[in-house]
Amino acid sequence: MSALPTPPPPSGAAPQPPLSLRQPRPDGELIPHDSPLAPFISVDPGRMSGEPCFKGTRVPIKTLFDHLRAGDPMSEFLDGFPPVTQAQAAAVVDLASMGLLEGLRRL
């Protein structure tokens, strides 16, 4: 399993190790409380086999990207997965694009 991209740390902050190298918190969550991912994404080895999910749900993040890749509008995804909010889905897309662009800037 590959590590989730970690958005760049705020200026002056130490970079975080990839999620695959972090120790789980006592609640099993691998994403640190202070991560920009924390309000939107949960990675818990004890839930959904550690698949990244929308926070507070059992809906894998990958499902959103599968729907978007298939050409489905975000509203169709949200209708099919009511526990996921529009704000969560939009934030995940924004975080993914930021991670991609940051990675490309490092080339």
Q: How far is CA 36 from CA 9, 83, 87, in A?
A: 9, 20, 14
Which domains does the chain possess?
30-105 (1.10.10.10)
Cβ neighbours, 10 Å, residue 59: 21
Burial of 103 (0-12, 13-18, 19+ CB in 10 A): exposed
Q: What is the pLDDT of residue 7?
A: 54
Taking only the tens place, the pLDDT of each residue in 1-41 is 344 455 555 555 556 666 555 565 668 899 999 999 999 99
Q: What is the pLDDT of residue 2?
A: 42
Length of the chain (residues): 107
pTM, to two decimals: 0.75
Distance CA 103, CA 107 (A): 7
